[in-house]
Amino acid sequence: MDPATPPIMDDEDITRLLRGTRRVAMLGASPNPERAAHRVGRYLHEHGIEVVPINPRHRGQELFGGRVRGALSELRDAVDVVDVFRRSEDVPAHVDEVLAMDPRPRAVWLQLGIRNEEAARRLRAAGIQVVQDRCIKIEHRRRIADVEPA
C-alpha cells in the first residue's frame, strides 16, 4: 500500500474522525422524518454538527437549518465528512464528485448496509478516509454523546 493511502479505519480512527467533525454533507438527505436519511441528519444537527443536505429532488428546500443542494459540486465551503445514503451499487458514480471537491473531505462515510470496495479503494488512494456499513448517528452516540459531559 502507498504510504500516503489511509489504512482501513479502526475504532480509534473513527472516534478521532467524529471528534473532529463539524460539517457534514449528507448525500441523499431526505425531508421525510420516517427515513433514516432524515433522522440521522436531524440528530447530527441537534448535536451541533452543521449538516449540508444534498438531494437533487429537494434542491432549494430548507432542511436541518440549511438549504438543500442538488449536488456536491454546489458546495463552496469545506466539509469534514460526506455521509452517503445511496445504494451500494450507486456509490461509484459519486466518487468522481467527491474527488472533484475543493477542498476534499477528510472522510466518506457509507451508512449502515452500504459497502462498495471499488469506491472505497479509489477514495483511499486519493487520501480520503472511508467508513463503510456503519451508522454515523449510532457511532456518534456511542463514542461522543454518551461519553462527553452535558
0.75 surpassed by pTM: yes
Note the pLDDT tens digit of each residue in 99-132: 999 999 999 999 999 999 999 999 999 999 999 9
Burial of 34 from C-beta contacts in 10 A (0-12 / 13-18 / 19+): exposed
24 vs 51: CA distance, rounded Å: 5
Q: Which of 90, 80, 130 is nearest to 110 (CA)?
A: 130
Note the pLDDT tens digit of each residue in 18-55: 999 999 999 999 999 999 999 999 999 999 999 999 99
Name the residue ranges covered by the structural domains of the chain: 11-145
CATH of segment(s) 11-145 = 3.40.50.720
